[in-house]
Amino acid sequence: MINGKTIVYGIIGNPVGHSFSPAMHNAAFNTIGLNCVYVPFCVQPADIYKAIEGMKALGIGGANVTVPYKETVIPFLDRLTGDAVACGAVNTITNKNGFLTGHNTDGGGFTRDLVESLGYDPAQGPALVIGAGGSARAVISALAQNGCPAIAVVNRTMERAERLAGALHDATGIALRVFPWDSENRELVAFSREASLLVNCTPAGMLNSGVDFPLPPGVPGKGQLAYDLVYNPPRTPFIKRAENNGATVAGGLGMLLYQGALSFETWTGHPAPVEVMRRELLKQAELTFKVGNREV
Ligand code: NAP
């Protein structure tokens, strides 16, 4: 029941109408009996500063931040945690009496799914990350923190991958290899065959969009784990390709769950009711996929 003491949380992005986060967090608040509510905030680019300042004015308890504002919000916050600095991106904001702190739970969510749900140890071998945007930074930082022995990135725009490698090196000391988007590049071919883990950190394949990954035939294949951050459709072109080649596969719903669980814990100080949140996510996913693959 919403009343005069309800604390408001939300997700700031554009678009946000497709987000599963409101349903997931409201289910969690209800289960624990917290007087909180989570709502979508679709913000226009020109208004992002006003939206962040408005969190203070309105006493918003905290927020998630999604595409395209994960980097844009940084100058408007009072402090960043180490994870947010390492990623150069914020997906969670806490508001303590008007003092805004930016956190990043994407990398932690990815690791929790990889290690706890899938039983995969990043230390077991090299990883190839496809994409060089905000989520790639979070994934790479998390892999490095968890002992991954060698990480390489391949991106459609080579300069962006090089910038990311430079920034990550400066922030964390991680030494990344960078490959061009060319399936005939010999070093890329060799690295991708040796990698234990291949992670798609691009939206390619979302909503069944066509994509031509720069990977040799048979990769990802047997003995490799293929992880796609995209979760709509559940079986993305990357997942289908990997499955057909005999790889172990995982979609992005687990990461979505655990980044949300970490945000919830950061805001409330309560252990997240993960199973309730998982059930809600699966319900939302089922509803969305049933009505046809609309935007997610
Ligand atoms: P971003 O910062 O906008 O970066 C997008 C990256 O994908 C860039 O490297 C871009 O390459 C590349 N890219 C875009 N379209 C492409 C295409 N058609 N073919 C090849 N490469 C393409 O986005 P992000 O925040 O990293 O998010 C990436 C994806 O991960 C999104 O689909 C997002 O929904 C998903 N995600 C999922 C979770 C989860 O919890 N499961 C969490 C975070 C993100 P260029 O540099 O060449 O443009």
Cis ω for the linkage preceding 15 (within 30 of 0):
yes
pTM of the predicted structure, to 2 decimals: 0.93
In contact, 257 and 229? CB cutoff 8 Å: no
The whole-angstrom separation of Cα 241 and Cα 163 is: 29
Per-residue pLDDT, 296:
32
**Residue whose CA is at the smallest distance from ligand 1 atom 28:** 202
The pick from 65, 91, 156, 231 for probing ligand 1's pocket by mutation, whose C-beta has the most ligand atoms within 8 angstroms, reads 156
The per-residue pLDDT for range 203-257, each reduced to its tens digit, is 887 766 678 899 999 999 999 999 999 988 888 999 999 999 999 999 999 999 9
Q: How far is CA 55 from CA 47, 64, 88, 257, 275, in A?
A: 13, 12, 21, 24, 30
The per-residue pLDDT for range 140-178, each reduced to its tens digit, is 999 999 999 999 999 999 999 999 999 989 888 889 999
* pLDDT higher than threshold 70 for residue 293: no
In contact, 105 and 64? CB cutoff 8 Å: no
Average pLDDT, the chain: 94
In contact, 280 and 24? CB cutoff 8 Å: yes
Cβ < 6 A, ligand 1 pocket:
67, 106, 131-136, 155-157, 160, 201-204, 206, 211, 229-231, 252, 255-256, 259
Distance 86 CA to ligand 1 centre (A): 18
Distance 174 CA to ligand 1 centre (A): 21
Distance 136 CA to ligand 1 centre (A): 8
